[in-house]
Structure 1
Amino acid sequence: MPATLNAFFPNEPDAEYNVEYYVKHHMPLVQNTLGKYGLKSWTVTKFVTGPDDSEPKYSFGSVMYWESLESIKNAFAGPEIGGLFEDVVNFSNKHAELLTGEIV
């Protein structure tokens, strides 16, 4: 069954993000590195205030579309994952909250 891996970056006062780097460099690196494990595509959303003008819980995030939950597990067990996490310092001083799920 197809699955998603969602990465959400917190909207906190001390957060520093370079979303342009994330979109143009990090996510293509993720795709090129993890495509062999079953990563099919991805999108990035920069969150804005809600309809009631409330601040969003997250600043931005990505949704990655995978062949299955097993393919995500295999990718995270692979030797390349460490290099991808090392790249985070190039666009963020925060760690993402990661959520996985099956597409229904």
Structure 2
Amino acid sequence: MKFILIGTFLLSTICFAAFSQEKHNTAVPEKGLTKVSIMYPYAENKTFNIEYYETKHMPMVAGFLGSNLVKYTIEKGVASGIPNQPLPFMAIGTFYVKSLSDYQAAIGPNREAIRADFPNYTNITPVILVSEVVK
């Protein structure tokens, strides 16, 4: 019985350590990356086609960014953090890039193509936040 308890304890300890290590090694953007968040505020009579955004618009913009792009994410708003309050954002697209200046150099010449694609998925003017990942 003593050996079973010790074995169970060791197995539990190994599993916990593996789980903890896996949790810390998830694909979290590295400190120092630039994060560009394109946020689409919710408002009455505004529309957002998340399927088009996911399959056409974001891949198009990602293509402009080339090797500077580390990853991008797409979030679909589902609720406010405060009960019975309107949704703050219908969607948020985020690019994680190595260099802000390279991002700007890639977006600049393609700005009109990016804007021309807006009517294909939304009638919302986005709010853009550029930030640095600190953790």
Match status 1:84 vs 2:114:
yes
Structure 2 gaps of 5+ residues are 1-31
Aligned mate of 1:94, from 91, 115, 124: 124
Higher helix share: 2
Aligned counterpart, 2:4: none
Q: Which one has the bigger strand percentage?
A: 1
Q: Which 5+ residue runs of structure 1 have no aligned equivalent?
A: none
**How many angstroms does 1:56 deviate by?**
2.1
- TM-score, length-scaled by structure 2: 0.69
Cα contact 2:64–2:106 (8 A) shared by 1: no
Indicate conservation of the 8 Å contact 1:8/1:62, yes or no: yes
- Residue number in structure 2 paired with 1:9: 40
Q: Which residue of structure 2 aligns with residue 29 of structure 1?
A: 60
Shift in Å at residue 44 of structure 1?
0.6
Kindly, what percent of the aligned residue pairs are identical? 25
Q: For each residue in 1:70-92, what CA deviation from the matched residue of structure 2 results, as whole angstroms up to 9, or x when unmatched?
A: 22222233x22221111111001
Contact 2:41 2:90 in 1 (8 A): yes
* Among candidates 72, 80, 95, match of residue 103 of structure 2: 72
Aligned to 2:77: 47
Query: Pairwise CA RMSD of aligned residues?
Result: 1.5
Matched pairs, number: 102
Provide runs of 4+ in structure 1 moved above 6 Å: none
* TM-score scaled by length of structure 1: 0.87
Report if the CA contact (8 A) 1:68-1:102 is conserved.
no
Q: Give 1:51 deviation, angstroms.
A: 4.7
Q: How far, CA to CA, are the matches of 2:131 and 2:106 in structure 1?
A: 15
Task: Give 1 or 2 for the bigger CA radius of gyration.
Answer: 2
Structure with greater contact order relative to length (CA < 8 Å, sep ≥ 6): 1
